[in-house]
Amino acid sequence: MTLPAPTPGPADAAGRVSNNDWWCSGNPLFLEPYWRRHAGASAVVVSGWHRMSYTATDGVFQSVELERQIRRLHRAVGNAVTDGKHVVFAAGSLQLINALVYALSPDVNAASPPALVVATAPYYPTYRTQTKMFDGREYKWGGTTALWGNASRSSTDGGFIEFVTSPNNPDAQLQRPVLGGSSAAAIFDHAYYWPHFTHIPAPSDEDVMMFTMSKPSGHAGSRFGWALIRDEKVSKKAYEYVQNSVMGASRDTQLRMLGIVKAMLANLHGEEDIFAFGHEVMRSRWRRLSAAVSRSRRISLQKMAPEYCTYFKRVREPSPAYAWVKCEREEDEDCYEALLKAKIITRTGVGNEAGSRYTRISLLKTDDDFEVLMERVTDLVDAEKNGD
Ligand code: PMP
């Protein structure tokens, strides 16, 4: 089979012509075979008259039952403490980025300057692009945490809002906030804090956490995310944001998610545990890719070690969602371009403010796409040996 050459996509924020986004995105299709096996149990049929209203009962946009099942899922997995937290649904966690920044920013009438929204490089670029899109009176993009070092802003200065992605996209490391002090608020993005991507050392109990269904179940197209928020005032502001922008997460989606979460819960720790399935796929992909790359002097990957996981109750092998590639040769200053020549489509580290020596490979793709990736990586490494 002859595969089409990668098609160039639109220019990225830095003005570079980037790749065709689908080939390198975090599209979580590695879980499709799992749901094929559970096609019946996870199916939802919605007749034409059903769920037509904007709201569920009493003018509420969120399904009480779905919220209950999500709390059960966190408790069963042990990845987040939901007691004492308010739950806010959104159309994917992408919508939560701005909802939470808005909710944590000083009020428009406050005399303080805008809050500065920051993240540690390499970070998920949407924090920057979305904040810049809405930059305004209450908050603005403040760049990477490295720019601020030990700087502290008093609460009258507007403070910092720091995105902490744990595990991180792109390099899969567990992260802690870098900026401290009473004027710094942290938003923990736990999109990948699930046992198929990382060990779970303890339940996360942060003030503001965001989750998405896109990565644990793989239903990215349903566009469903949720935030767990300790402070009631902050949760009300986030809810108000979602209400004003999209009038609550789609009720069709909420119904589908209810079926999916219930199917996940019914199988936990059994033979058909979705996290055991997901971990096995991701672990094997990481092992194969690392073995191939270990023969190369041209490219290297992030270092990852086996760690104890409270969910599996054993030491588990690494299984990151992304490989964070570094090009080692002087002439491969643009790692994205170097890999593209070998028909390996990646996402440049420029967008993560990590520089062009780095680039990200998504490991969440379909089995077929992963096999093609392995062929091309193997060819690249073999070519080195042959002195090509
Ligand atoms: N946060 C991180 C760290 C992500 O990687 C992604 C998706 N790639 C998102 C948020 C957004 O996820 P979604 O909008 O699909 O919920």
Q: Cα 70 to the chain's mean position, in Å?
A: 18
- Residue 49: inside a domain: no
Tell me the C-alpha to C-alpha distance, in Å, between residue 340 and each of 180, 196, 291, 360. Answer: 40, 28, 21, 12
Q: Which of 31, 89, 94 to mutate to test the pocket of ligand 1 (most atoms within 8 A of CB)?
A: 94
Q: What angle do CA 153, 159, 160 make, to 5 degrees?
A: 105
Q: Is 189 in the pocket of ligand 1 (CB under 6 A)?
A: yes
Does residue 255 share a domain with residue 142?
Answer: yes
Does residue 203 share a domain with residue 258?
Answer: yes
Total structural domains within the chain: 2
State the closest ligand 1 atom to the C-alpha of 94, by its place in the atom list counted from 1. 14
Q: Is 267 in the pocket of ligand 1 (CB under 6 A)?
A: no
Domain containing residue 77: CATH number: 3.40.640.10
- Nearest Cα residue to 290 out of 364, 377, 223, 351: 377
Longest dimension (CA), the chain: 70
Tokens standing for residue 295: 């023969």
- The whole-number pLDDT of residue 388 equals 64
- Residue 56: inside a domain: no
The protein residue with its alpha carbon nearest to ligand 1, atom 1, reads: 191
Residue 122, preceding bond cis, omega within 30 degrees?
yes
Q: Which of 166, 215, 222, 253 to mutate to test the pocket of ligand 1 (most atoms within 8 A of CB)?
A: 215
Burial (CB count within 10 angstroms: exposed 0-12, middle 13-18, buried 19+), residue 5:
exposed
Does residue 341 share a domain with residue 257?
Answer: no
Burial (CB count within 10 angstroms: exposed 0-12, middle 13-18, buried 19+), residue 105:
buried
Distance 388 CA to ligand 1 centre (A): 38
- Nearest Cα residue to 247 out of 44, 95, 48: 95
- Residue 197: inside a domain: yes
Q: Which of 238, 267, 296 is the last residue of a domain?
A: 267
Specify whether the CB–CB gap between 98 and 127 falls below 8 A.
no
Does residue 332 share a domain with residue 211?
Answer: no
Does residue 289 share a domain with residue 263?
Answer: no
Q: Which residue(s) pair with 329 in the sheet?
A: none
Does residue 294 share a domain with residue 230?
Answer: no
Round to whole Å and give the CA distance between 298 and 326: 8
pLDDT per residue rounded down to tens, the chain (388 residues): 444 444 444 444 454 444 456 667 899 999 999 999 999 999 999 999 998 998 887 788 999 999 999 999 999 999 999 999 999 999 999 999 999 999 999 877 667 888 999 999 999 999 998 898 887 778 999 999 999 876 666 555 778 999 999 999 999 999 999 997 777 899 999 999 999 999 999 999 999 999 999 999 999 999 999 999 999 999 999 999 999 889 899 999 999 999 999 999 999 999 999 999 999 999 999 999 999 999 999 999 999 999 999 999 999 999 999 999 999 999 999 999 999 999 999 999 999 999 999 999 999 999 999 999 999 999 999 998 776 6
Query: Which domain, by its residues, includes 203?
Result: 64-267
Q: Which of 267, 291, 326 is the last residue of a domain?
A: 267
Contacts 24+ apart (CB under 8 A), 371-376: 372/3, 373/289, 373/344, 374/288, 374/289, 374/292, 376/342, 376/343, 376/344
- Residue 235: inside a domain: yes
Does residue 251 share a domain with residue 280?
Answer: no
Q: Is 169 in the pocket of ligand 1 (CB under 6 A)?
A: yes
Please report which helix (H) or strand (E) contains residue 160, including its range: strand 160-165
- Residue 55: inside a domain: no
Does residue 337 share a domain with residue 215?
Answer: no
Domain containing residue 286: CATH number: 3.90.1150.10
What DSSP state is assigned to residue 204?
B
- The whole-number pLDDT of residue 16 equals 47
Does residue 354 share a domain with residue 249?
Answer: no
- Residue 9: inside a domain: no
- Nearest Cα residue to 381 out of 349, 336, 347, 344: 344
Q: Is 208 in the pocket of ligand 1 (CB under 6 A)?
A: no
- Residue 335: inside a domain: yes
Does residue 311 share a domain with residue 262?
Answer: no
Q: Is this complex scored with an ipTM above 0.85?
A: yes
Does residue 356 share a domain with residue 380?
Answer: yes
- Residue 173: inside a domain: yes
Q: Which of 267, 301, 335 is the last residue of a domain?
A: 267
Rg (CA), the chain: 21
226-278 pLDDT per residue, tens: 999 999 999 999 999 999 889 899 999 999 999 999 999 999 999 999 999 99
Does residue 322 share a domain with residue 279?
Answer: yes
Q: Is 122 in the pocket of ligand 1 (CB under 6 A)?
A: no
